[in-house]
Chain A
Amino acid sequence: KNEVEQSPQNLTAQEGEFITINCSYSVGISALHWLQQHPGGGIVSLFMLSSGKKKHGRLIATINIQEKHSSLHITASHPRDSAVYICAVKVTGGGNKLTFGTGTQLKVEL
């Protein structure tokens, strides 16, 4: 079983819809990252969380440490949001390494 599980694996939405991507982990962590991978392969960091909630534009990330769960929300989705969204955790006592989920492929259609 992977230490980091994401759901759904694939998601198709219509423009304007509210989108939620989930990440569950089974280990103790000191930080959780949400990353976006564009079709060309480049990866950018969206959020780093250790508690609570963060918002950037139309993106919101939340984390519940007790439940070992994080969500990434996209409000008013747009076709340019189409990408793979990856959850990664920094495992407590794991040094400076990250453990990655398998990603959620999001497609937003007009």
Chain B
Amino acid sequence: DGGITQSPKYLFRKEGQNVTLSCEQNLNHDAMYWYRQDPGQGLRLIYYSQIVNDFQKGDIAEGYSVSREKKESFPLTVTSAQKNPTAFYLCASSNRQSSYNEQFFGPGTRLTVL
């Protein structure tokens, strides 16, 4: 079945450690996105990539890094520079040609920094 997978579902890290969240899609989508969700707030865009080997900062990129070496994969690294990393992280992908930009979401990773 086509879809987006994120792993792991729950992740615990000590303060000061970098951590990488995985996102893989087999929908053949060019565009991929990383969002952060906090209670009482809408999804906020961290980084997005329209094509392999290219990505742009979203609204809250500080303390995060990404890579897009393969079309299927868009890993997100939460660095120790991120002041408040505990959150729910969602990855999404879309067909870059879609005029509506329908995005397909993964199941999310809940990161807790202790």
A-B contact pairs, 12 of them (CB 8 A): A33-B102, A41-B90, A41-B110, A42-B107, A42-B108, A43-B105, A44-B105, A45-B102, A50-B100, A90-B101, A96-B50, A96-B94
Q: How large is the interface on B (under 10, 10 to 19, 20 to 34, 35 or more residues)?
A: 20 to 34
Main secondary structure of the interface of A (DSSP, over half): strand
Whether a CB of chain A sits under 8 angstroms from the CB of B17 is no
- For A11-52 the 0/1 string (1 means CB < 8 A from B) is 000000000000000000011010100001111110010100
Q: Which residues of A contact B (CB under 8 A)?
A: 2, 4, 30-31, 33, 35, 40-45, 48, 50, 86, 88, 90, 96-103
A-B contacts, CB under 8 A, total? 61
Chain A residues with CB under 8 Å of B31's CB are: 96
Question: B88 — which chain A residues lie within 8 A by C-beta?
Answer: 41
Known: A96-B96, A100-B44. 7 other contacts (CB 8 A): A4-B42, A41-B90, A45-B102, A88-B43, A96-B31, A97-B45, A99-B42
Residues of B within 8 A of A43 (CB): 90, 92, 105, 108
A48→B98 CA distance, assembly (Å): 11
* Residues of chain B having any CB pair with chain A under 8 Å: 31, 33, 40-45, 48, 50, 58, 88, 90, 92, 94, 96, 99-108, 110
Also in contact, A97 and B100, with CB within 8 A (given A42-B108, A43-B90): no
Partner of B42, one of A2, A30, A45, A97: A2
